[in-house]
Amino acid sequence: MNEQTFSADWLSLREPFDDAARTRAWPSLAPLALGQAADDRRIVDLAAGTGANLRFLAPRLGGNQRWRLVDHDPVLLISARRQLTDWALRRGARVSSDDQQGLTIDAATFKLHAEFVPLDLAAVEPLVAIGDATLVTASALIDLVSVTWLQRWIDACARTGTDVAFALNCAGHAHWRPADEDDVAVARAFSAHHRTNKGFGPAIGPEAADLAAQRLAAAGYTVATADSHWSIDAPSTAMLQAMVDGHARAATEMSDSPEVISRWRGRRQADIEAGRLALVVGHRDLWASADRSAIRRSG
Ligand SMILES: C[S@@+](CC[C@H](N)C(=O)[O-])C[C@H]1O[C@@H](n2cnc3c(N)ncnc32)[C@H](O)[C@@H]1O
């Protein structure tokens, strides 16, 4: 995948929008997420970036948690450690580190240990990465992986009786306001780019959450899904700029008419500067609870 796309700056820019979107979706997922009141969760966060998924989930899950944050980018993992420390201190939690560079965060409603694991998720054997986890989670990942990759992980989670939570799966549609005559052309080219190989084989793209929900249900999981759309209003100019630039860049790579995309970008730039652009981007969150009586964990 393109390192540039996943810089710590980009992940910081999107985190408040992710947080707001997930907060809206959470009431639909919480009954399943909190249903099997586990006080000792062991969580693997796939493609953890700077730790935003932990920052969202840890206070909501409560109790004792052990996190393994996995990413292939060691720079992001260093940033994750720093950002989690700052976040915990802002919440008034006690923070300490251990010899292995892990973090312990002792907050009012949860206590967690986090370790940071550099790993290429395109290459690792899922059962090895899952280990003794009770929850496998990922945010902003599943639309970028292939059907084959997703199925291998679902099979491994089902085999070990591990719960699954996939958040912020991009569902494709971008609804720009005001509308522009070339939004459709940009969307078509952007969507083609979305499905290109991001390192895990041809990417599933916008159907990822629904496909994962179907495959998890077929594997015996109880599944809940909820929309987690980004809503980006006119004052959020930095995010709008990133979205216009990102759409234009991806669409230009795929379009037969780059001049159409270039003119679209120019008009959207003017919309941002006039403070009249707003955008909704479709996302979908998913929580899947394993049937513990069917655990086939060996040994
Ligand atoms: C869209 S970002 C999401 C980061 C984080 N989960 C969040 O929600 O902010 C995608 C992440 O996937 C990671 N990634 C991409 N390819 C990977 C691979 N082959 N193995 C492990 N991590 C990978 C990137 O480094 C990046 O952190």
Chain segment 36-54, per-residue pLDDT in tens = 767 789 999 999 999 999 9
- Structure tokens given for 6: 């996943």
Cβ of residue 93 lying under 6 Å from some atom of ligand 1: no
245 domain-assigned: no
Choose among 171, 243, 240: nearest CA to 211.
Answer: 171
258 domain-assigned: no
The Cα 49–Cα 61 span in angstroms is: 20
Cβ of residue 145 lying under 6 Å from some atom of ligand 1: no
132 domain-assigned: yes
User: Residue 207: which CATH number?
Assistant: 3.40.50.150
Q: At what angle do helices 147-160 and 208-218 cross, to 10 degrees?
A: 40
3-state secondary structure 140-195: CCHHHCCHHHHHHHHHHHHHHCCEEEEEEEEEEEEEEECCCCCHHHHHHHHHHHHC
The Cα 186–Cα 183 span in angstroms is: 5
Phi, psi of 128 (to 5 degrees): -70, -45
Cβ of residue 122 lying under 6 Å from some atom of ligand 1: yes
To the nearest 10°, report the CA torsion of 130, 132, 136, 141: -30
271 domain-assigned: no
The Cα 101–Cα 79 span in angstroms is: 13
Which of the 8 DSSP states describes residue 24?
H
* Strands 63-71, 40-46: pairing kind: parallel
The closest-lying atom of ligand 1 relative to the alpha carbon of residue 45 is 6
The Cα 69–Cα 50 span in angstroms is: 9
Top mutation candidate among 72, 77, 83, 166 for ligand 1, by most atoms within 8 Å of CB: 72
CA of 289 to the centre of ligand 1 (A): 23
194 domain-assigned: no
Query: Residue 206 belongs to what domain range?
Result: 3-172+201-232+281-291
Chunked mean pLDDT (size 10), the chain, 299 residues: 70 98 98 84 98 98 97 97 98 92 96 97 97 97 98 98 97 94 95 94 97 98 97 98 96 92 98 98 97 49
CA of 235 to the centre of ligand 1 (A): 28
The Cα 71–Cα 87 span in angstroms is: 20
177 domain-assigned: no
Choose among 277, 202, 10, 260: nearest CA to 252.
Answer: 260
CB 166 within 8 A of CB 209: yes
Cβ of residue 139 lying under 6 Å from some atom of ligand 1: yes
The pLDDT of residue 199 is: 95
CA of 108 to the centre of ligand 1 (A): 29
Which of the 8 DSSP states describes residue 81?
H
**What is the number of structural domains in the chain?**
1
Identify residue 294 by its one-letter amino acid code.
Answer: A
CB 151 within 8 A of CB 208: no
Longest alpha-carbon distance in the chain:
63
CA of 122 to the centre of ligand 1 (A): 11
The pLDDT of residue 293 is: 55
Top mutation candidate among 73, 83, 153, 168 for ligand 1, by most atoms within 8 Å of CB: 73
Alpha-carbon Rg for the chain, nearest whole angstrom, is 19
User: Atom 27 in ligand 1: which residue has the minimum CA distance?
Assistant: 49
58 domain-assigned: yes
CA of 135 to the centre of ligand 1 (A): 18
Distances (CA, A) of 266 to 59, 237, 273: 42, 15, 11
Burial class (CB in 10 A: 0-12, 13-18, 19+), 96: exposed
The pLDDT of residue 269 is: 98
Cβ of residue 166 lying under 6 Å from some atom of ligand 1: no
The pLDDT of residue 297 is: 42
Cβ of residue 73 lying under 6 Å from some atom of ligand 1: yes
59 domain-assigned: yes
